[in-house]
Structure 1
């Protein structure tokens, strides 16, 4: 399992519109092969700042399966115009502690 992380900055005054668009777009990502779960967190200290966390079965499920799909084109259409600047997406794997 991998964790996708993206810090999102939403254009000023568009937060409520973004949250509604994200609710609708969530149906897209949750239907993808390898998708496990996702969550969107709103920052309490900085207006318009969000953290998106998505769990995937593998890195390729996100980078190839989702990012190279027709569904991703719809995801982009619904959400990418809200971001300024465009977010950096990173992937993490869990460190085994025991």
Structure 2
């Protein structure tokens, strides 16, 4: 399983609207993507405009090709993109170790 980690910074004062938008985009768009396995979203306490989005995929290609090169990606960005203060920083990770 692959972890996609997106560090998202939104425009100040938009937290409530973004909270709803990211949930909408995840449930209506990303949750239906090939290879999707789940997600977590954390929002900053000290930096309230910062969010960390974690999406779990079967393979790297499920995110980078199947999703990113589909019409669903454009739909996702149309929902959450207007809130971005800058482009999210996105990286992918393999699981090294896990607690029980």
Same fold by TM (over 0.5)?
A: yes
Q: Are residues 1:49 and 2:58 paired? A: no
| Alignment gaps of 5+ in structure 1 | none
The CA RMSD over aligned residues, in Å, is 1.2
Question: How far did 1:85 drift?
Answer: 1.5
In the aligned structure 2, how far is the partner of 1:12 from the partner of 1:85? Answer: 12
In the aligned structure 2, how far is the partner of 1:6 from the partner of 1:30? Answer: 16
Equivalent residue runs for 1:67-82 within 5 Å? 67-82=68-83
In the aligned structure 1, how far is the partner of 2:5 from the partner of 2:31? Answer: 16
In the aligned structure 1, how far is the partner of 2:48 from the partner of 2:74? Answer: 27
TM-score by length of 1: 0.94
Equivalent residue runs for 1:1-98 within 5 Å? 1-26=1-26, 27-96=28-97
Any runs of at least 4 consecutive aligned residues in structure 1 with deviations exceeding 3 A, and if so which?
none
In the aligned structure 1, how far is the partner of 2:76 from the partner of 2:62? Answer: 15
Question: How far did 1:89 drift?
Answer: 0.4
TM-score by length of 2: 0.92
Question: How far did 1:96 drift?
Answer: 4.9
